[in-house]
Amino acid sequence: MRLLSISTGKVVPLFGNHHPDYKSVASAIHKKCVSNLENPLSVEIHSLGVKGDEQADLSVHGGIEKAIYVYPAEHYAFWNELLSRETKKPTLLKHGAIGENFTIEGLLETEVFVGDKLFIGDLEFVVVKLREPCFKFNATVGYKGASKAMVQSGFCGWYLRVTKTGVLAAGAQITVVPGARAMSITQQNQKLLNNRNQQDLWE
């Protein structure tokens, strides 16, 4: 298990017609890689996340409890295939395209539980919760069914709280120390899926 890349984003206007109430909305979902295996630059990680990263709406992203968004690289094949098919445009997403700060390999939602500790390099994190996608994700990838596909597939990723700050670079190894293991990210996502289906909450 290792960290493949670190990405950050700035708040900019996000344009799209994927939500009836918004023509343009501020977002920092567009992330750019600042450290990867080819260029493993050291990046400062503080209690509010990656230095230089921004969030437009702190009620749903960012803050102490959602400081870092993690996404497994294994899911990129799913998105490339889905978006190529649905948008009729060849798609090859780069790391950070899902809006994540950390792109990792070797660890999936089925194996991660709320409360688990992740040691990445010399830094320490705690798993807080899954990522709940919204219309901004749809607009970012140019497909109005993207949020629904994320929840239905369970390929949601998860948020981390930073419990030991410091400097981190791509290539760092990841170690999981189990917590109470009462609910996995996959199980949490299943509850969200059931709730959205029951209440017809899809955008």
Cα distances (Å, whole numbers) of residue 25 to 130, 137, 140, 202 = 23, 12, 11, 19
Distance between alpha carbon 169 and the CA centroid of its chain, in Å?
A: 18
Q: What is the DSSP letter of 194?
A: H
Distance between alpha carbon 189 and the CA centroid of its chain, in Å?
A: 14
Where in the sequence is the domain holding 59, given as residue range(s)? 2-199
Count the domains in the chain.
Answer: 1
Q: How far apart are CA 116 and CA 19, in angstroms?
A: 35
Which phi and psi angles does 55 have, rounded to 5°?
A: -135, 140
Residue with the two structure tokens 């607009």: 139
Q: How far apart are CA 54 and CA 130, in angstroms?
A: 19
Distance between alpha carbon 54 and the CA centroid of its chain, in Å?
A: 14
Residue 15 has what pLDDT? Answer: 66
Residue 12 has what pLDDT? Answer: 82
pLDDT by residue for the chain (203 residues), tens digit each?
A: 999 999 999 988 776 666 566 567 778 788 999 999 999 999 999 999 999 998 877 777 788 999 999 999 999 999 999 999 999 999 999 999 999 999 999 999 999 999 999 999 999 999 999 999 988 899 889 999 999 999 999 999 999 999 999 999 999 999 999 999 999 999 999 998 888 776 665 55
Q: What CATH number corresponds to the domain at position 43?
A: 2.40.33.20
